[in-house]
Amino acid sequence: MRVLPLRLGAILLTLLPLVALADAQRDRFGAAGYFRIMTRPDFSGGSGQLGYYWLYGRLLNESPYGELNLRLDALQATPGSQEVWAEVHSRISGTSFRSADPGNGSLVNFSADYLFVRAGNILLDRVTWQLGTLEDRWNDLHIYDQRPGTLLWDTVGLSGTYQGDRYDVLLAVGDSGYTLRPRNYNTVLTGAASFRYRLIPGHLEAGIRAQVGYEPAVRGNRNALYASPNTNYEDFARREVVRRYFEANPGVEDLVPDLKARSALSYRAMGYLGFGNLGPLVWSNMYLTFEKRHPTPFYMENYRGRDWTVYVTDQTDERYDANLGNEAYIRIIPDKLEALWGVWAGYSFNKDNDIMAGEDNRVIASTVLRLQYFLTDRVHLLVESSIAREKSLNGNFYRNHVDSVFTSTDGMADARGLEFGDSDTRDTWQFKAGVVLNPTGRSIYARPSLRLLYGLQRSSQHAAFGNSFVDSLDQYNVYVGPERHWHSVVAIEAEGWF
């Protein structure tokens, strides 16, 4: 009669470790992060980057980077329960490692990106509260190293996120003043909201996000926003506001402007569509964003051996950016060939500026395709190509030739011109290829990755890569050396998540 209970007891003793493991709490402390480091010998006099920036695909255009994300469970809940829980999070990141970049590993190049407390099951079910820095990310566009779905990266305050079965909602309020002007702080009240809904779970989801910042007018605060009357954009662009003031008022010994206090409203809005698990398409992230940038309060102008403060809110409060970005992850041949395909288009316009060429009035477009072929589980071949066009809407902004500085204004030399070259368009093509060692297996996203790559660029602009060539408006500071439209680098680099 005792045989069955004894056998049952033995079975239960055998299962107890599995039951305990299923209900085991995680470690109170956790760490995760990301790193990339590289060396890129550059025999063209460049700084080790194939082109100027991420528009041509981030690969070979980025700098070293590392981040460490730390988590401490201040209050742990029993797994599967509705008990109150709380976590403390922090992140340290930077862009420098010894011998890999100009910073040479100095800690000056690192910062504490965020610190916040996150807690759940307080007051409302399924609501997670966050107090501190409020950065909230949706899916990134990795091929461009862009985060168009990120909200509140500049804000400290309080947020609440409700997680439903098929949707999530976020509401937040805080202050962005220290991010916008760390040394000249003034309060910028910030509010944000987002909503994401999974229409067909695992196949289709959509969302919207918005953030608004308001800086009130504060008369008497030197860090607040003011406007200097009778200031035109050309004098502001040339940094000659003070000079023109004294020329118009020859008997005046001091700058006595009639300052007008200003308030400001800035905002960003984002629309998101994610879809995938459709044949070879694993997933695609598409974003449409629109932003009105916050105005600049002032700048310093030196005249008569003295630094003068010039308030320029009225010259910087009408700057807008609209962007469309997409990244698709495709398994062309399962376990053999995968692809990332990115598209980016952007339109920037400044209603205050209709005379000066610059990045505040331009149209950009780019597409990048990366293919990764798996020779074995751990040895892969990578090929990537990109084409991009950047067009200035306010005249010539790019120098196509070594002597373009002499023809910057309608074919005439003008050291004080508001154009910077002989073309309003820059066309860039890049090609990258090489071997990738992925210890963790077959995936275009597998990390860590050890890469040996060769990169080639052809640009319509002369010397279109990071360098020390002279590029001022002074007609006597011309580019030195032969004309350069081609650029190549060899890269040995490592990248990983942990």
Task: For residue 215, give the H/E element and its range.
Answer: strand 204-215
Give pTM, 2 decimals.
0.90
The DSSP code sequence of 13-61 is: HHHHHHHHHHTPPPPSEEEEEEEEEEE---TTSB-S-SSSSGGG-STTT
pLDDT at 62 exceeding the cut of 80? yes
Q: Convert the pLDDT of each residue in 146-164 to its tens digit.
A: 999 999 999 999 999 999 9
Residue with the two structure tokens 């409203």: 265
pLDDT of residue 481: 65
Beta bridge partners of 31: 70
Q: How far apart are CA 152 and CA 15, in angstroms?
A: 47
pLDDT at 231 exceeding the cut of 80? yes
Query: Which band of pLDDT confidence, cut at 50, 70 and 90, is reported for residue 414?
Result: low
pLDDT of residue 471: 53
Angle at 241 between CA 238 and CA 242, to 5 degrees: 125
CA 390 to the chain's CA centroid: 19
pLDDT at 416 exceeding the cut of 80? no
Where is average pLDDT lowest: 22-26, 252-256, 455-459?
22-26
- Whether 138 and 144 have beta carbons less than 8 Å apart is answered as no
- The mean pLDDT of 489-498, rounded to a whole number, is 96
Nearest to 351 by CA among 295, 269, 288: 295
pLDDT of residue 10: 42
Query: Which band of pLDDT confidence, cut at 50, 70 and 90, is reported for residue 9?
Result: very low
The first and second tokens of residue 433, run together, are 């290829």
What's the helix, strand, coil split of the chain in %, to 5?
10, 50, 40
Q: Convert the pLDDT of each residue in 439-453 to its tens digit.
A: 999 999 999 999 999
Share of the chain above pLDDT 70, in %: 90
Q: How far apart are CA 232 and CA 225, in angstroms?
A: 17
- Whether 401 and 483 have beta carbons less than 8 Å apart is answered as yes
Tell me the residue length of the chain.
Answer: 498
The strand ranges marked E within 76-203 are 85-94, 110-120, 127-133, 156-163, 167-175, 189-200
pLDDT of residue 46: 86
Query: Which band of pLDDT confidence, cut at 50, 70 and 90, is reported for residue 20?
Result: very low
Between 419 and 197, where is the model more confident? Answer: 197
pLDDT at 22 exceeding the cut of 50? no
Query: Which band of pLDDT confidence, cut at 50, 70 and 90, is reported for residue 7?
Result: very low
Nearest to 419 by CA among 401, 394, 390, 391: 394
Neighbour tally for 256: CB within 10 Å: 9
Q: Convert the pLDDT of each residue in 91-149 to its tens digit.
A: 999 999 999 998 999 999 999 999 999 999 998 989 999 999 999 999 999 999 999 99
- Whether 399 and 420 have beta carbons less than 8 Å apart is answered as yes
For the chain, the average pLDDT equals: 90
Which amino acid, residue 83?
E
